[in-house]
Amino acid sequence: MTTTLLRGRLLSFHRAPASLNDSESYLYESDGALLIRDGIIAKAGSYADVKAAAPEDVEEVDHRPHLILPGLIDTHVHFPQMQVIASYAANLLEWLNTYTFPEECRFVETAHAERIATHFYDEFLRQGTTTAVAYCSVHKASADAFFAEAMKRNMLMVGGKVMMDRHAPQGLLDTPQLGYDETRAVIEQWHGKGRNHVAITPRFAITSTPEQMSAAQALAQEFPDLHIQTHLSENHEEIRFTCELYPEATDYTDIYARYGLLGKRTLLGHAIHLSDREADVLSETGSVAVHCPTSNLFLGSGLFPLKAITRRDKPVRVGVATDIGGGSSYSMFKTMDEAYKIQQLLGERLNPLDSFYLMTRGNAEALSLVDRIGTLEEGTDADLVVLDAAATPAMKLRMETVNTLPEELFLLQTLGDDRSVVETYVAGVAVKTVLGK
């Protein structure tokens, strides 16, 4: 049994903050500590209390004056797109056809998938992200590499073999039967192994025939506890083509509804251009709209109304994500910095408490995994990030004039990146400094 005591300033949310002054929405301990036993947070509180409860010979790591938060969570990324990020394209469909689909074809090779998996986890941990929800490629080998590496690192990851059987190169297509069989095989091989969660992953309605959507529906019925992930209403041209392919559906959202793919475990990437009717359906089914701000700006897809959609009479659940490699940064700080600017353009305010809630507890709630990750609550997994808001000379200088916690968080969000991540812990084990980068 290993027991460690981490000392630092603790920050963890109890619920979504109602305003910038809502100090009851979070726990902040200016001299706090966590007692970690076998990868679980055994005790959280003031240093004095935690120290008193710890064994006398406990190993103590002093992270003062830094902040200790739950590990950051990214609810939409593409594992095979690390060599797609920063590709110059006019819009989503051009970007997919010119760069993304050809690149994903390479994941038929196990050795390539394994190499990228190593880089993938190294990079996410450098950025302080301890859980991500990922699309693998259509090839089962890519899912095998993704989950094997997650297990090696004892990380809680959600991922799925993409199902796609049309409108892409031959090397990137399965069939309704193969998509079904291989997704089943991935579930049987990986779901519940280590901390792995498998997601049913029809890429989007353009690349799945009605027969394949029925296969995804069958999987969803057989495995009702699994996450489902797909893309929705990202780009006007995409929406027009999708609705042409499914003329019987009322709108894009209705396609997924008809195949029983909406629900509390469904994550819908982008969901930018929704009608009121569609937002109502997402709300009624408990489906999650995943905001991907850097991607939505990079591909010119549009401005997701994050604040407005959560404030409706029928509010929509939301998550936030990088969408690597349509997204332009691995950093959740950069992601929230862009999310902030999008709200500014829409005449809304996204305050720093909102942002840090969304990156941690908010995303855990979106995944229905808040009993395990996203907070510093006792009994949950010790996935943590240690943050320094004075990590660079410019940040250090700006910190001289920072007086409050929200100001510090806003500075981290605006100027921070991987350099602000002093340490990342996975199930109580320090991993960032071990990477040596």
How many whole angstroms separate alpha carbon 86 and alpha carbon 294? 11
Q: Of 163 and 186, which CB lies nearer to ligand GUN in the complex structure? A: 163
Which of the stretches 46-54, 92-100, 152-160, 411-419 binds ligand GUN when contact is defined by CB under 6 A? 92-100
Nearer to ligand GUN, 92 or 156 (CB): 92
Cβ proximity to Zn ion: between 294 and 375 the closer is: 294
Candidate segments 100-108, 115-123, 168-176, 318-326, binder of Zn ion by CB under 5 A: 318-326
Report, in Å, the least distance between residue 78 CB and Zn ion: 6
Is 293 a residue that touches Zn ion (CB under 5 A)?
A: no
Chosen from Zn ion, ligand GUN, none, partner binding at 184 (C-beta under 5 to 8 Å by type): none
Q: Which stretch binds Zn ion (CB under 5 A): 4-12, 207-215, 267-275, 336-344?
A: 267-275
Residues 29, 31, 35: CA angle, nearest 5 degrees: 85
Task: List the x/- string, 216-235, binding to ligand GUN by CB under 6 A.
Answer: ---------------x--x-
Phi, psi of 195 (to 5 degrees): -110, 20
**Residue 321 C-beta: closest distance to Zn ion, Å:** 8
List of residues 6+ apart from 225 with CB closer than 8 A: 265
Q: Which does 100 bind (CB under 5 to 8 A by kind): Zn ion, ligand GUN, none?
A: ligand GUN
Residue 337 interface partner, choices ligand GUN, Zn ion, none, CB cut-off 5-8 Å depending on type: none
Residues 318-357 touching ligand GUN, rule: CB under 6 A, are 323, 326
What does the alpha-carbon distance between residue 235 and residue 340 come to, in Å, rounded to a whole number?
21
Rounded to a whole number of angstroms, the minimum distance from the CB of residue 410 to Zn ion is 28
Q: How far is the CB of 344 from ligand GUN (least distance, A)?
A: 23
Site string for ligand GUN, 189-208 (x = CB under 6 A): --------------xx----
- How many residues at the interface with ligand GUN, by CB under 6 A? 11
Segment interacting with Zn ion (CB under 5 A) among 54-62, 280-288, 317-325, 330-338: 317-325
Q: Using the rule CB under 6 A, which residue among 233, 295, 328, 355 binds ligand GUN?
A: 295
Closest approach, Cβ 9 to ligand GUN, in A, equals 36
Q: Which of 4, 12, 75, 100 binds ligand GUN (CB under 6 A)?
A: 100
Distance, CA of 169 to chain centre: 28
| Among ligand GUN, Zn ion, none, partner that 204 touches (CB below 5 to 8 angstroms by kind) | ligand GUN
User: Which residues, numbered 6-45, are part of the site for ligand GUN (CB under 6 A)?
Assistant: none
CA distance 356 to 362: 8
Q: How far is the CB of 367 from ligand GUN (least distance, A)?
A: 19
CB of 145 to ligand GUN, least distance (A): 18
Stretch that binds Zn ion, among 109-117, 124-132, 149-157, 319-327 (CB under 5 A): 319-327
User: What's the Cα-to-Cα distance from 122 to each of 100, 115, 328, 336, 418, rounded to whole Å?
Assistant: 22, 11, 17, 21, 12
Which listed residue (8, 71, 269, 293) binds Zn ion by CB under 5 A? Answer: 269
> Which residues contact Zn ion (rule: CB under 5 A)?
269, 323
> Which residues contact ligand GUN (rule: CB under 6 A)?
78, 92, 96, 100, 203-204, 231, 234, 295, 323, 326
